[in-house]
Structure 1
Amino acid sequence: MNATPPLSEQVVVITGAARGVGAALARKLTLRGAKVALVGLEPAELKVVAALCGPAATAWEVDVTDNDALGEAARQIQEHYGRIDTVIANAGIALGGPLLESDHRAFTRVIEVNLLGSVATARAFLPALTESGGYLLQIASLAAMTPAPLMSAYCASKSGVEAFAHSLRAEVAYQGVKVGVGYLSWTDTDMVRGADQDAVLKQMRARLPWPASKTYPLEPAVDRLVAGVARRSAHVYAQAWLRGMQPMRWLLPTLIAKAGARDVARLAPEIRATAATRLRPVGAGGAADTAARTEQEPTA
């Protein structure tokens, strides 16, 4: 089996690359010499990030839940660069609030983007990764380890992508493809800042035990992800303490159920009073996804 090529010789595809973790990954990987192909819903923002990444960077406006469009983008990206070495499945949105007060379409959309979008990304790009003996990094979350009240859609989707990536790893290993899972705690992105604009969600997060209650700076987190990509690691932890969560994760659902139940009961009146404010995904990325879907809906 061929040795892992240095990042300076790699073509890296990043979904959800218009902002946040995806955009920062693109910039950091470019500094290491990689050529980056940026996939996302926001063409103007993608072009700005691509410009920051130099003349070899390209931007591709694609919805990761559109299997046909994503497959065509994968074909065109491979044709443009001649190869694809690494794919980072990073696209994601989040929704907060109780299940019974959530909008069914918005809840379902979180699952579609985060989980089924990751499946579609793997399906589209694995043929190219098989040719190159490449690497797929699936971005998961602390939410895959710690089921949190008022975040059921996001937690379910991130638990799903973690399990999906672990299953896929065994399927494609004999073809020379490596699969990794990236874990991030609360990191300073548009999504987290959007969640913090909701007073209830902010209070719930503030009551998490340290260090899970803290918001972490973006740049060091992305540096750790890039280092994991360079090593083609099976597990990549954007905050070092997340590694220590793995051995105790079996205990977390019980602990969170007890503490979370008390917090939800205490905040129930405020949760009900503000239910109408959390019917859409949080943050600028969530707003962009909602806008894109609205444009695609047929008019009467």
Structure 2
Amino acid sequence: MTDLDGKRVVITGAARGIGLATARGAIARGARVALLDRDELELKQVVTELGAAASAFVADVTDPEGLSAAVAAAAAEFGGIDVVVANAGVAPKMATVAGTSLAEFDRVIGVNLRGVWNTVQAGLPHLGVSRGRLVVVASVYSFVNGVLGAPYAVSKAGVEALARTLRVELAVAGIGITTAYFGFVDTDLVNGTKVGDPLFEKTEKLFPRMLTKRISPDRAAKEILRAVERNRTRVVAPALWRPLDWLRGIVGPLGDTVLARAGKLRDVLVQVRAREVSSPNEP
């Protein structure tokens, strides 16, 4: 067990959503928290709300030099770092692969995958001193079909592959790693993909309600902090996703086959593709 009281925590994407909820939860457990985000105004407002245990560092995870400088500044202020949470992420609008621009693909990969890579690179020198823990936020899209959201699924599968590699590489240094796999979380990231898009809701209704049900950012944060406290290597939430994770080698291929043959999903794909052809600049 790891007691978070007195620990020094760095969180990216900390101005809102899961990052902010994790910061609140860590502070409630006695930790000092460095909140990193590219939104300076919102970050300052959040730090004012959280009080003396929180510090703000403006940084963009797509800028490796700036990110490393921010993490180093946090380490200097706190006297070290014990936990780094690579949480920052973005999501694309619903689209087929054919209808997704290279710029949109690069944007999602740049934040979700390269941003995690950059966070790892920035945090490891400090975690090596404290023999601390690295948390990377992946997604159930690491192991389920990414239809109509390929850039996001590709990025999160990459995050999982990175985390698995790090678990082996960092064992000799005594640095722990936790991979968090969340389903749908009630955040701006998730909700922003469906705003004004009737086809999103139509697609969502094709899947069992138990899988599309959203959990709160606070629930996601509790799962992350509990995993850190218990030195767990992975957390999957909500729990209904766990059997799909355990059986991914069987369920994955079967699910792909079912989706490829699903008439209602085909109808949605036709409508989405028609929209893309008529408006090639969106998303």
TM (normalized to structure 1)? 0.87
1:278 deviation in Å? 8.5
Q: Are the counterparts in 2 of residues 8 and 34 from structure 1 also a CA contact under 8 Å?
A: yes
Paired position in structure 1 for 2:228: 229
Partner amino acid for 2:110?
E
Choose which of 126, 129, 140 in structure 2 pairs with 1:128: 126
Paired position in structure 2 for 1:147: 145
Partner amino acid for 2:237?
A
Map 1:239-278 → 2, pairs under 5 A: 239-261=238-260, 262=262, 263-275=264-276, 276=279
1:251 deviation in Å? 2.5
- C-alpha distance in 1 between matches for 2:34 and 2:51: 11
Paired position in structure 2 for 1:180: 178
Q: Are the counterparts in 1 of residues 138 and 180 from structure 2 also a CA contact under 8 Å?
A: yes
Q: Unaligned regions of 5+ residues in structure 1, if any? A: 281-300
- C-alpha distance in 2 between matches for 1:148 and 1:256: 11
Q: Are the counterparts in 2 of residues 182 and 236 from structure 1 also a CA contact under 8 Å?
A: yes
The Cα RMSD (Å) is 1.8
Q: Are the counterparts in 2 of residues 207 and 213 from structure 1 also a CA contact under 8 Å?
A: no
Return closer, same or farther for 1:170/1:230 CA change in 2, 3 Å cut-off: same
SS at match of 1:211: helix
Return closer, same or farther for 1:33/1:222 CA change in 2, 3 Å cut-off: same
Choose which of 187, 190, 199 in structure 2 pairs with 1:189: 187
Q: Given the alignment of the two structures, is residue 48 of structure 1 paired with residue 64 of structure 2, yes or no?
A: no
Percent sequence identity over aligned pairs: 35
Partner amino acid for 2:117?
V
Return closer, same or farther for 1:113/1:58 CA change in 2, 3 Å cut-off: same
Give CA-to-partner distance per residue, 1:54-99, whole Å, 9 cap, x none: 1121111111111111111121111111010000000111112101
Q: Are the counterparts in 1 of residues 10 and 71 from structure 2 also a CA contact under 8 Å?
A: no
Aligned residues: 277
Paired position in structure 2 for 1:90: 87
- C-alpha distance in 2 between matches for 1:92 and 1:30: 22
Q: Are the counterparts in 1 of residues 109 and 151 from structure 2 also a CA contact under 8 Å?
A: yes
- C-alpha distance in 1 between matches for 2:241 and 2:33: 27
- C-alpha distance in 1 between matches for 2:2 and 2:190: 34
- C-alpha distance in 2 between matches for 1:142 and 1:51: 33
Choose which of 9, 23, 34 in structure 2 pairs with 1:12: 9
1:209 deviation in Å? 2.6
Paired position in structure 1 for 2:112: 114
Q: Are the counterparts in 2 of residues 111 and 153 from structure 1 also a CA contact under 8 Å?
A: yes
Q: Given the alignment of the two structures, is residue 36 of structure 1 paired with residue 37 of structure 2, yes or no?
A: no
Deviates more, 1:186-195 or 1:258-267: 258-267
Return closer, same or farther for 1:50/1:203 CA change in 2, 3 Å cut-off: same
Return closer, same or farther for 1:115/1:88 CA change in 2, 3 Å cut-off: same
- C-alpha distance in 1 between matches for 2:143 and 2:256: 13
Q: Given the alignment of the two structures, is residue 70 of structure 1 paired with residue 67 of structure 2, yes or no?
A: yes
Paired position in structure 2 for 1:138: 136
Q: Given the alignment of the two structures, is residue 166 of structure 1 paired with residue 164 of structure 2, yes or no?
A: yes
Deviates more, 1:71-80 or 1:129-138: 71-80
- C-alpha distance in 1 between matches for 2:273 and 2:189: 22
Q: Which runs of 4+ in 1 moved over 4 A?
A: none
- C-alpha distance in 1 between matches for 2:50 and 2:237: 22
Q: Unaligned regions of 5+ residues in structure 2, if any? A: none
Q: Are the counterparts in 2 of residues 178 and 232 from structure 1 also a CA contact under 8 Å?
A: yes
SS at match of 1:127: helix
Deviates more, 1:66-75 or 1:218-227: 218-227
Q: Are the counterparts in 2 of residues 195 and 202 from structure 1 also a CA contact under 8 Å?
A: no
Return closer, same or farther for 1:148/1:205 CA change in 2, 3 Å cut-off: farther
Paired position in structure 2 for 1:103: 101
TM (normalized to structure 2)? 0.92
Return closer, same or farther for 1:91/1:85 CA change in 2, 3 Å cut-off: same
Partner amino acid for 1:29?
A
- C-alpha distance in 2 between matches for 1:253 and 1:278: 32
1:48 deviation in Å? 1.9
